[in-house]
Amino acid sequence: MKKEAGFSLIELVVAMAVLALIMGAMVHLFGGSVVSLHTGSKQEVVYEEARLVMNELKTTLRYADKDSIEPEKPTAATETFFYKGDMFDRHMAIGEGKNKAYEITVKWKDDTKKQLEITRKNITDSDTKVTVFPQDIKNSAFTYDDKFNGEFPIVAETVTLNNGDNVVLYQITLPIQYVLNGKPQLQTLTTKVVPSRDEEEDNSIEGQLIRAYKEILELGMKISDNKLKPNKNDLTANEWKLYNDFMDKIYGEGNRNNSSLTSNDVIRKYLVNEKYGGTWPVKNINGADLYIQPYCHLYNVAPTTSNIFIYGSKNVKDTSTNNWNVNYIYDMDAKSWYTGEKIMIANKSWATVKGEMQSKGWIKVK
């Protein structure tokens, strides 16, 4: 009878040992790949988070009102940075867009100075968005200890152009850290930006009036939204100066009535007396000398700067007499004057007035 062949005990042990080594290597390789993939995904998430914050800051700072930036020249020791401005919100669909006003505050989230808190207040839409960067404090590359007091990510320098003009250039630096294949990695996003609003600023009579009115109304909205009895710490230096000047000129030194900052009649009174010497500026439109003045619907509604518009009157040169029946109105979007059958503008939003101008066939002044 033929004897059947088989594996000896030694052969089985050797085979199992070899198999165990192969399986162990595969598990190690597969596990390392999973960890590497997971870490790589986290890196992408952190980088995208930094990129979005960078785009937000550089875009809004580019369109900021230069005079609103405080401090004008932030340094590594700065703890809070503020500015405001406005920009067009629909570059890809111009017909549907409009200029929207905003305020940006960048500050340390807390005393650890490991995370930033960026608050964007949309004045036009009356909403606020708060972003913390980085969201996970483990990804923070901001340094802070007893000897080193933290380095603010926005600093400024003065640059002299070829034509001899000096401009303030702002550098934004956002460091991030993450772990890749078990090793700590550091990456830094940086950019430089110069506010360009001055180049686009409308310095016509109409543009100046709208900006002056908006500055006061935005101050009133800020105080009202926060229910402040403001002091120097609540407002920027420019806002504090405007607040005191407004109240002193309207009510006398030391007297205050915060609700007047959102009153059309009071704002107009302050502007005509303190900015224009008691008489609204005059402009010749379509052969007629008109007193150019602002109006905003603020009666029994939530205040909004989108309701500020400009009209012209042949007779009303100050605020002692109001005649809200007008036939010359400035369209801020078209930057043109229009005329037609008289419209009563009192207690009407800009959208309502513009609709009536169109329905009554108002024509553009050439």
How many DSSP H helices and E strands does the chain contain? 6, 13
Say how far apart CA 252 and CA 223 lie, in whole Å: 20
Given this model, what pLDDT does residue 6 score? 61
Given this model, what pLDDT does residue 153 score? 94
Angstrom CA distances, 11 to 8, 18, 150, stand at 5, 11, 66
Q: Give 8's contacts (C-beta < 8 A, 6+ positions apart).
A: none
Say how far apart CA 283 and CA 191 lie, in whole Å: 43
Given this model, what pLDDT does residue 39 score? 43
Q: Give 321's contacts (C-beta < 8 A, 6+ positions apart).
A: 315
Q: Which domains does the chain have, with CATH numbers?
A: 42-196 (no CATH), 202-364 (3.30.1690.20)
DSSP category for residue 350? H
pTM recorded for the entire structure: 0.54
Say how far apart CA 12 and CA 97 lie, in whole Å: 77
Residues 266 and 219: beta-carbon distance below 8 Å? no
Given this model, what pLDDT does residue 266 score? 95
Say how far apart CA 206 and CA 226 lie, in whole Å: 30
Per-residue pLDDT of the chain (366 residues; tens, 9 = 90+): 455 556 677 767 777 777 877 777 666 555 554 444 444 447 778 888 999 999 999 989 988 888 889 998 999 999 999 999 887 664 444 345 567 889 999 999 998 899 999 999 998 888 899 999 999 898 888 876 554 456 899 999 988 877 666 788 999 999 988 877 778 888 888 999 988 754 445 678 898 899 899 999 989 988 886 666 787 777 888 888 999 999 999 998 878 889 999 999 999 999 999 989 999 999 999 888 999 999 999 988 888 888 899 999 988 888 887 789 999 999 887 789 999 999 999 999 999 999 999 999 999 986
Residue with tokens 């900052």: 261
How far is C-alpha 210 from the chain's CA centre? 19
Say how far apart CA 187 and CA 315 lie, in whole Å: 64
Q: Which tokens is 79 given?
A: 């703890």
Given this model, what pLDDT does residue 338 score? 95
Given this model, what pLDDT does residue 30 score? 55
Residues 101 and 126: beta-carbon distance below 8 Å? no
Say how far apart CA 106 and CA 86 lie, in whole Å: 17
Which is nearest to 167 in space by CA: 102, 56, 72, 84?
72
DSSP category for residue 83? E
Which is nearest to 71 in space by CA: 239, 243, 237?
237
How far is C-alpha 352 from the chain's CA centre? 27
